[in-house]
């Protein structure tokens, strides 16, 4: 499932409106990036997929990951450590600037389970070894070169979450 699925985007946008009182939502999609090089930089170098502006004119940046329900039983956040371990090309961990991360397992116009969490406390906990990976780095050899490090959502501190939910649909 691609995060560009318009039904899943509508679900996430609905959550952003509800949780953040979003008055505007700007998504960076491939067609937009060819017209706007700044959006390409935000997406590819800062790992920001969405900018939200609230009713109070506060802006939040969000990275999104939509996972196939096949992986739901793991209930883990997978953080891209290396984009290419052979060349040392850094992954999302080194460049993640987004303030919030939306990580959802979704299918057929429904978020089966999902989390929206603040990235700064997670990054600090990883650096301070207050949270540890649940497994050794996992190579994504089936779909690319990247190596991912899994962290159990159960190990996250409750205050890191803006939202945790299941079976979310548009009403």
pLDDT one-digit tens code per residue, 91-104: 888 888 999 999 99
Report pLDDT for 16.
97
> Can you tell me the distance from the alpha carbon of 114 to that of 100, in angstroms, rounded to the nearest whole number?
13
The whole-number pLDDT of residue 1 equals 41
For the purposes of burial, counting CB atoms within 10 Å of the CB of 46, is it exposed (0-12), middle (13-18) or buried (19 or more)? middle
Buried b (16+ CB within 10 A) or exposed e, 107-119: beebbbbbbbbbb
Using alpha carbons, list the distances in angstroms from residue 8 to 39, 78, 108, 145.
21, 19, 8, 26
Contact indicator for 77, 132 with CB cutoff of 8 Å: no
pLDDT of residue 48: 85
Q: 102 - beta bridge partners?
A: 64, 116
Rounded (to 5) percent helix, strand, coil in the chain: 30, 35, 30
Using 70 as the pLDDT threshold, list the residues of the chain that sit under it.
Answer: 1-4, 29-46
Q: What pLDDT shows up at residue 46? A: 62
């Amino acid at each position: 499932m691609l995060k560009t699925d318009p039904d899943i985007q509508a679900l996430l946008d609905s959550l952003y409106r509800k949780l953040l009182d979003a008055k505007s939502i700007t998504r960076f999609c491939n067609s937009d990036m060819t017209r706007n090089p700044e959006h390409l930089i935000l997406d590819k170098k800062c790992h920001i997929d969405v900018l939200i502006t609230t009713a109070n004119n506060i802006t939040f940046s969000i990275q999104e990951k939509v996972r196939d329900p096949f992986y739901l039983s793991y209930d883990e956040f997978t953080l891209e450590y290396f984009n290419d371990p052979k060349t040392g090309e850094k992954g999302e961990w080194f460049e993640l600037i987004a303030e919030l991360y939306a990580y959802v397992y979704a299918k057929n116009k429904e978020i089966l389970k999902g989390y929206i969490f603040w990235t700064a406390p997670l990054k600090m906990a990883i650096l301070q070894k207050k949270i540890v990976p649940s497994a050794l780095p996992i190579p994504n050899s089936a779909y690319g070169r990247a190596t991912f490090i899994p962290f159990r959502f159960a190990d996250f501190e409750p205050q890191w979450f803006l939202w945790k939910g299941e079976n979310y649909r548009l009403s």
